[in-house]
Amino acid sequence: MKLPILNIDGKETGKSANLADDIFKIEPNEHLLYLSVKQFLAANRQGTHKAKERAEIVGSTKKIKRQKGTGTARAGSIKSPLFRGGGRTFGPRPRNYDFKLNRKEKQTARKSALSLRAKEKQVQVLEDFSFETPKTKKMIEILNNLNLQGKKVLMLTGEVDSTIYKSSRNLQKSKVLQADKASTYDLMNSNAIVFTESGLKQLEQTFN
């Protein structure tokens, strides 16, 4: 699959980029897409929830009433879950929600996400560029030139460029990442993917 390489004005440069069929033209595996996104979200959960159980409540251990003759149920501790202020039965405890997903499964999921976006014609290739100083206004102009205004855009670059990153971080619907750092969630959570030339090469090297 060939795509024209555009400049920051949104015009064709006369060059083209070859998108590898084994990355951008595979049959998407929807189940692996689901698992990969689920694993990403699960790994980002803090899991710091905690409720005090019966043994952790501070209170008297004295038997609160006699065993028999009260006409009500027997009760031995004010810390019982049956009473207000008592411990919680089987309350939440801190835990790690992450689960293992094989490396090949993650790779297939990322390829599936890229193939979906390529099939929807939501992949563009931009020639390498940089800014002298970070300017959000310049990034907005580039997105407008690419007809991506109002869309959730994921820009994948080669090496880290702080000027490009800082120019986009104030844009709610724009995100800049290194191509080899983009997860399946990042790819699926965007409406359009913009590669720089170096970003596309880095992605292909990552898979190969």
Average of pLDDT values for 43-71? 93
> Higher pLDDT residue, 136 or 1?
136
42 Rama sector, left if φ>0, alpha if ψ -120 to 50, beta otherwise: alpha
Quick one: how many helices (H) and strands (E) in the chain?
7, 6
Task: Provide the pLDDT for residue 161.
Answer: 84
Token pair 């590669």 is at which residue? 195
Average of pLDDT values for 41-56? 94
CB 5 within 8 A of CB 126: yes
pLDDT bucket at 72, cuts 50 / 70 / 90? very high
**Tens of pLDDT, residues 126-170:** 999 989 999 999 999 999 999 998 899 999 999 888 999 999 999
Distance CA 182, CA 125 (A): 16
Task: Provide the pLDDT for residue 122.
Answer: 92
pLDDT over 90 (residue 1): no
Where do the domains of the chain lie? Answer: 2-45+99-207, 48-96
Task: Provide the pLDDT for residue 208.
Answer: 81
What is the Cα 102 distance to its own chain's centre? 18
**Tens of pLDDT, residues 174-207:** 999 999 999 999 999 999 999 999 999 999 999 8
Task: Provide the pLDDT for residue 126.
Answer: 93
Q: Give whole-number Cα distances, 15 to 3, 197, 204, in Å.
A: 9, 11, 18
Query: Domain 2-45+99-207 - what CATH class?
Result: alpha beta
pLDDT bucket at 34, cuts 50 / 70 / 90? very high
Task: Provide the pLDDT for residue 109.
Answer: 96
Distance CA 63, CA 148 (A): 70
Structure-token pair, residue 169: 């971080």
> Listing from the earlier edge strand, what are the strands of the sheet with 123-126?
12-18, 2-6, 123-126, 192-196, 153-157, 174-178
Distance CA 207, CA 98 (A): 24
